[in-house]
Amino acid sequence: MLYLIGLGLGDAKDITVKGLEVVRRCSRVYLEAYTSVLTVGKEALEEFYGRELILADREDVEQEADSILKDADSSDVAFLVVGDPFGATTHSDLVLRATQLGIPYRVVHNASILNAVGCCGLQLYRFGETASIVFWTDSWRPESFFDKVKKNRQNGMHTLCLLDIKVKEQSLENLIKGRKIYEPPRYMTVNQAARQLLEIVENQRARGEEPAVTEDTLCVGLARVGAEDQRIAAGTLRQMCTVDLGGPLHSLIVTGGSLHPLETEMLSLFAVPEASPASRGTGDEPRT
Amino acid sequence: MLYLIGLGLGDAKDITVKGLEVVRRCSRVYLEAYTSVLTVGKEALEEFYGRELILADREDVEQEADSILKDADSSDVAFLVVGDPFGATTHSDLVLRATQLGIPYRVVHNASILNAVGCCGLQLYRFGETASIVFWTDSWRPESFFDKVKKNRQNGMHTLCLLDIKVKEQSLENLIKGRKIYEPPRYMTVNQAARQLLEIVENQRARGEEPAVTEDTLCVGLARVGAEDQRIAAGTLRQMCTVDLGGPLHSLIVTGGSLHPLETEMLSLFAVPEASPASRGTGDEPRT
């Protein structure tokens, strides 16, 4: 049996009791290592679970599904995923390969960022399609995710924006030379995401378009959702450019316009303090 | 401290390790009893948790928040919710009341139906706004939820339809006479939801409109997601009218039109067998 087990979002103890029982009895336990991170590392998980974990990075999952699935027809293998196994990244490819090989599978669900963001008080059933914001480079500055935000706002829906993660990326030079040397991991902050969004807004204005979002659009920044030190900040898109939410992972919500009174009241618990008049609206805020 | 703890979707062991630790040390533990059900009852939870649970129904949560929060400034109180505390039903009211009283709160997240439906293989980030389908009566047959399905489909998004639950409902007679006698609980099936949807389609055709959904629209019925005996069935809306998915809870997804190849491949694992030609398209299928 192949078990796909969600680890939730915070630390080692966010696994379910059912999930932990399975982990402790499986013959091999893989940890998916590329789409997300917990606030604790592999070692803390291994100590709590009492099991050695085999890291599975993107190459492994896509190219080496068969080694993960080896003997899973006669023994139990666990594949651990931060969040839920069918959350932000689906693991359909592994399920399909298992099914082709006649290996049964079972899913042990857990919280994912896609439902845990409800803790800010915005109602989950009012979210539209989820967007992803990628790191821009000097030459690659895609604006296409903005269409989803626009479509959602036109329909009165909130947009959850998942922010880019760069793990095990190679520099162009190392890639060309075939050197398996990896850059340090990078996690997009709410500040970076908000600045990219504002740049798109300005580009649209320069083209004479009416942007679906402005500096004053109400947004919610979230950091380390589910962890003890999680942070939530509600304020304008401009405020999101400078609010300090600490370490990764961050997510950004662009609200859909009119709010339910309960949503408004909940967001007020997390309101970013108004900036002093001297620092407001000068347009001189640092942008990098 | 007030702890809002998600129980997940299956049975007693779907609570997280963190959640279980909190439950075992709190001075009082409430179980929210009106929006959803696990496949096991209160007694099974009490036995596994080793704690007595106080049932909190809709009246309690809305009118008696203060009794739930009594002494929570000096001791720990847990409020257990099937799924995630901010899933299909938010518990913002309880959080806001606690905050007014100066009582800190913490959330222990878990899977909710809103993310666990990803197990069918449809990509969660392609879902639009969530719809709710209520039981029709002879005189009350609202069609408004269909607008959400339509809007989502126009934008290529899937729609998760949460199906009605009637728990602790009183008959009109008992309500008028003030008798606290409750009807047996009712849970809408995928069959019932699909038939109501098809009736709306027919009404729209009768009015000369072009419905956004037809008998042949690809849908997914899900039952008891997260439990050992969960069932998933992918097929046309017409097939959803008769597919047998067993006991509650059920959910229905109306797909958004074009699918990603991985979505198609995953859904094929759950395809309802084609009906034999003799029973197809006669329009004589029973409707009740």
Cβ-Cβ contacts under 8 Å, B128 against chain A: 128-129, 155, 157
Count, in order, helices (H) and strands (E) of chain A.
Answer: 11, 12
CB B123, CB A86: distance < 8 Å: no
Residue B283 lies in a domain: no
Alpha helices in chain B (DSSP H): 17-25, 42-49, 58-63, 65-68, 92-100, 113-116, 145-154, 172-176, 190-206, 237-240, 261-268
- Using the beta-carbon criterion (under 8 Å), do B16 and A18 form an inter-chain contact? no
What pTM was estimated for this model as a whole? 0.90
Residue A282 lies in a domain: no
Q: What is the largest CA-CA distance in chain B?
A: 69
- Using the beta-carbon criterion (under 8 Å), do A17 and B21 form an inter-chain contact? no
- What is the ipTM, given to two decimal places? 0.90
Angle at A36 between CA A78 and CA B78, to 5 degrees: 80
Separation of alpha carbons A157 and A254, rounded Å = 9
3-state secondary structure of B8: strand
Q: Is the pLDDT of residue A260 over 70?
A: yes
The residue out of A111, A126, A156 marking a domain boundary is A111
3-state secondary structure of A119: helix
Give yes or no: residues B163 and B256 share one domain: yes
Q: Is the pLDDT of residue B20 over 80?
A: yes
Give yes or no: residues B260 and B131 share one domain: yes
Instruction: Give the residue on B whose Cα is nearest the Cα of A20.
Output: B17
Give yes or no: residues A105 and A118 share one domain: no
- Using the beta-carbon criterion (under 8 Å), do B116 and A21 form an inter-chain contact? no
3-state secondary structure of A108: strand
Q: How confident is the model at residue B62 (pLDDT cuts 50, 70, 90)?
A: low
Predicted pLDDT at B58: 59
> Closest Cα to residue B161, out of B255, B283, B74?
B255
Q: Which of A15, A112, A129 sits opposite B115 (nearest CB)?
A: A112
Quote the number of domains for chain A. Answer: 2
CA distance B236 to chain A (A): 22
Mean pLDDT over A177-198 rounds to 92
**Does residue B94 have a cis peptide bond before it, meaning omega lies within 30 degrees of 0?**
no
Predicted pLDDT at A283: 37
Measuring CA to CA, how many Å separate A14 from each of A56, A71, A100, A226, B77? 20, 28, 32, 9, 19
Give the CATH number, domain containing residue A135: 3.30.950.10
Give yes or no: residues A193 and A65 share one domain: no
Residue A228 lies in a domain: yes
Give yes or no: residues B136 and B254 share one domain: yes
Give yes or no: residues B149 and B248 share one domain: yes
3-state secondary structure of B77: strand
Mean pLDDT over A162-188 rounds to 86
Residue A23 corresponds to which tokens in the numbers above?
């982990």
Give yes or no: residues B171 and B257 share one domain: yes
Percentage of residues of chain B with pLDDT beyond 70: 91
Residue B284 lies in a domain: no
Beta strands in B135-286 (DSSP E): 159-163, 165-166, 186-187, 218-223, 231-236, 250-254
Residue B239 burial by CB count (10 A; 0-12/13-18/19+): exposed, middle or buried?
A: buried
Question: What tens digit of pLDDT does each residue of A116-155 get?
Answer: 999 999 999 999 999 999 999 999 999 989 999 999 999 9
Q: Which domain holds residue A129?
A: 114-269
Predicted pLDDT at B288: 35
HSE-up of B200 (CA within 13 Å, CB side)?
20
Give yes or no: residues B9 and B24 share one domain: yes
Give yes or no: residues A33 and A140 share one domain: no
Residue B132 lies in a domain: yes
Q: How confident is the model at residue A287 (pLDDT cuts 50, 70, 90)?
A: very low
Q: Is the pLDDT of residue B53 over 90?
A: yes
Separation of alpha carbons B182 and B55, rounded Å = 16
Instruction: Give the residue on A whose Cα is nearest the Cα of B147.
Output: A155
Instruction: Give the residue on A whose Cα is nearest the Cα of B18.
Output: A13
Mean pLDDT over B109-121 rounds to 95
Predicted pLDDT at A282: 38
Predicted pLDDT at A278: 44
Instruction: Give the residue on B whose Cα is nearest the Cα of A162.
Output: B125
Q: Is the pLDDT of residue B71 over 60?
A: yes
Predicted pLDDT at A62: 59
Residue A66 lies in a domain: yes
**Which is more confident, B173 or A72?**
A72
Predicted pLDDT at A90: 66
Separation of alpha carbons B183 and B168, rounded Å = 6
Separation of alpha carbons B13 and B8, rounded Å = 9
Give yes or no: residues A136 and A262 share one domain: yes
Q: Which of A87, A119, A130 sits opposite B86 (nearest CB)?
A: A119
Instruction: Name the most confidently modeled range: A36-40, A88-92, A171-175, B199-203.
Output: B199-203
The residue out of B111, B136, B157 marking a domain boundary is B111
Give the CATH number, domain containing residue A34: 3.40.1010.10
**Which is more confident, B236 or B88?**
B236
Give yes or no: residues A138 and A16 share one domain: no
Predicted pLDDT at A284: 38
Q: Is the pLDDT of residue B34 over 70?
A: no
Q: Which of B17, B99, B266 sits opposite A13 (nearest CB)?
A: B17
Residue A276 lies in a domain: no
Long-range Cβ contact pairs of A45-51 (< 8 A, separation 24 or more):
A45/A7, A45/A12, A45/A80, A47/A12, A48/A12, A48/A13, A49/A12, A49/A15, A49/A20, A49/A23, A49/A24, A50/A24, A51/A23, A51/A24, A51/A26
Give yes or no: residues B219 and B76 share one domain: no
Residue B151 lies in a domain: yes
Question: What tens digit of pLDDT does each residue of A53-72 get?
Answer: 998 875 655 567 888 999 99
Q: Is the pLDDT of residue A89 over 70?
A: no
- Using the beta-carbon criterion (under 8 Å), do A15 and B13 form an inter-chain contact? no
Predicted pLDDT at B284: 38
Predicted pLDDT at B40: 81
CB B239, CB B254: distance < 8 Å: no
Mean pLDDT over each residue of chain B, to the nearest integer: 89
Separation of alpha carbons B117 and B126, rounded Å = 12
CA distance B237 to chain A (A): 22
The residue out of A59, A81, A111 marking a domain boundary is A111
Q: What are phi and psi of B198, to 5 degrees?
A: -65, -35
A64-73, A190-199, A239-248, A250-259, range with the lowest pLDDT:
A64-73
